[in-house]
């Protein structure tokens, strides 16, 4: 008989999408120290400096952007406010910093490289990935106080299966785990064993590390119909793998007609900034001369469409509600009257 055993303990990391026996799934940083969060955006900025294709006159501008980045991180870490006030201040700091990257670094460049390659370089679209974990704070979500957890980008557990047959000569069941990359998570690492031995003899046992995302979100700069359909499939996989999980789809700009998420496993689709600019206008943005001549209109549009505090608060309140109501313990279900 095959035996399964699960345990949650320390954090280990790996980069593979589908893990084989003995390998581990990447998990994010522990949330206890706000200065030790994962830094996907900061890493991209520093990698940019070593990019051989970066125009020489953009090098000092990237160096200045890194200085602004460090100041941004320190400003968020130094906040002493709590509750909704802290969320509002984090949103203000986010918008100010995003403007410095989108306008001062990318738009104002006299070359085409940064704008044309920004999707591949992930300079601007990694900002939210680094910022959202700052909302996972007991000062903002009180129910997190004292809770052991991790937060940030991670490979979340989505399926398990056994790669073995009855007549195999190998002495272990071939436990395999499948994971899905998630831009934002709140969860915990878990340790799983499967064995043909009821005492989990190491010679007959597969041991793996995975990560359970109880709250997960896909973060998109522009959300189109294809991305939405992919998110529907991903949310279903995660909800089957961990029925207590909740999946959000969050974008800056909507690049499609709104589609109801009812009937899917997506908790909610959130649009942070508004409707995406049409392709007829966007096609001019790669031209440095056009950007220079139309800088003010671009800045005005940015100021008119910041990341909206009320939408971020909606997400925070949904997470607050999810965490306060979730309880998988059924031992007192009759007494409390719900399960």
DSSP secondary structure, 287-330, as one string: -HHHHHHTHHHHHHHHHHSPPPHHHHHHHHHHHHHHHHH-----
Which of these, 114, 110, 105, lies nearest to 288 by C-alpha position?
Answer: 110
pLDDT of residue 335: 73
pLDDT band at 7 (very low <50, low <70, confident <90, very high): very low
Which of these, 137, 188, 114, lies nearest to 35 by C-alpha position?
Answer: 137
How confident is the model over 18-24, as a mean pLDDT? Answer: 37
pLDDT at 110 over 60: yes
Give residue-wise pLDDT tens across range 169-222: 888 899 999 999 999 999 999 999 999 999 999 989 999 999 999 999 999 999
As a whole number of angstroms, the distance between CA 109 and CA 291 comes to 9
pLDDT of residue 333: 65
DSSP secondary structure, 37-78, as one string: S--HHHHHHHHHHT-TTS-GGGHHHHHHHHHHHHHHHHHHHT
- Share of residues in the chain with pLDDT > 90 (%): 76
Question: What's the Cα-to-Cα distance from 235 to each of 24, 230, 268, 285, rounded to whole Å?
Answer: 22, 9, 11, 34
pLDDT of residue 27: 58
Give residue-wise pLDDT tens across range 44-59: 999 999 999 999 999 9
pLDDT of residue 325: 72
Q: Left if phi > 0, otherwise alpha if psi is -120 to 50, otherwise beta: which for 152?
A: left
pLDDT band at 119 (very low <50, low <70, confident <90, very high): confident
How confident is the model over 105-129, as a mean pLDDT? Answer: 94
pLDDT of residue 168: 86
For the chain, give the mean pLDDT. Answer: 87
pLDDT at 23 over 60: no
- Share of residues in the chain with pLDDT > 70 (%): 86
> Which helix (H) or strand (E) is 7 found in, with range?
strand 3-7
Contact present, 149 and 186 (Cβ < 8 Å): yes
pLDDT band at 4 (very low <50, low <70, confident <90, very high): very low
Lowest mean pLDDT among 32-41, 152-161, 293-302: 32-41
How confident is the model over 315-330, as a mean pLDDT? Answer: 82
How confident is the model over 287-316, as a mean pLDDT? Answer: 96
pTM: 0.85
pLDDT band at 270 (very low <50, low <70, confident <90, very high): very high
CB burial of residue 282 (10 Å; 0-12, 13-18, 19+)? exposed
pLDDT of residue 45: 95
Measured torsion, CA atoms of residues 258, 263, 265, 271, in degrees rounded to the nearest 10: 20
Q: What is the β-pairing status of strands 246-254 and 205-223?
A: parallel
Place of tokens 């069941």: 173
pLDDT at 266 over 50: yes
More confident residue, 261 or 30: 261
Token readout for 172 is: 């272990």
Residues facing residue 167 across a β-bridge: none
pLDDT of residue 34: 43
How confident is the model over 122-126, as a mean pLDDT? Answer: 92
pLDDT band at 99 (very low <50, low <70, confident <90, very high): very high
């Amino acid at each position: 008989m095959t035996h399964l055993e699960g345990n949650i303990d320390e954090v280990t990391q790996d980069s593979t999408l589908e893990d084989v026996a003995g390998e581990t799934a990447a998990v994010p940083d522990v949330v206890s120290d706000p200065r030790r969060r994962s830094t996907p955006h900061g890493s991209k900025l520093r990698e940019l400096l070593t990019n051989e294709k970066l125009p020489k006159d953009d090098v000092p501008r990237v160096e200045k952007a890194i200085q602004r980045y460090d100041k941004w991180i320190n400003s968020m870490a130094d906040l002493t406010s709590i509750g909704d006030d802290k969320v509002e201040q984090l949103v203000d700091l986010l918008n100010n910093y995003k403007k410095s990257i989108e306008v001062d670094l990318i738009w104002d460049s006299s070359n085409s490289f940064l704008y044309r390659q920004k999707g591949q370089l992930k300079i601007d679209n990694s900002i939210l990935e680094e910022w959202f974990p700052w909302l996972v704070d007991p000062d903002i979500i009180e129910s997190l106080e004292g809770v052991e957890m991790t937060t940030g980008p991670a490979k979340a557990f989505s399926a398990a299966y056994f790669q073995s047959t009855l007549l195999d000569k190998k002495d272990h069941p071939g436990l395999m785990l499948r994971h899905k990359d998630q831009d934002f998570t709140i969860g915990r690492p878990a340790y799983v064993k499967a064995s043909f031995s009821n005492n989990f003899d190491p010679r007959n046992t597969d041991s793996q590390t995975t990560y359970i995302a109880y709250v997960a979100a896909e973060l998109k700069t522009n959300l189109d119909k294809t991305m939405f359909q992919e998110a529907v499939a991903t949310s279903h996989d995660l909800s089957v793998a961990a029925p207590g999980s909740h999946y959000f789809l969050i974008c800056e700009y909507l690049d499609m007609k709104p589609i109801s998420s009812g009937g899917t496993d997506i908790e909610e689709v959130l649009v942070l900034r508004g409707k995406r600019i049409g392709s007829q206008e966007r096609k001019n943005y790669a031209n440095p001369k056009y950007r220079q001549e139309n800088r003010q209109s671009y800045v005005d549009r940015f100021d008119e469409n910041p990341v909206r505090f009320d939408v971020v608060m909606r997400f925070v309140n949904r997470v607050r509600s999810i965490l306060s109501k979730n309880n998988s313990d059924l031992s007192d279900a009759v007494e409390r009257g719900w399960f």
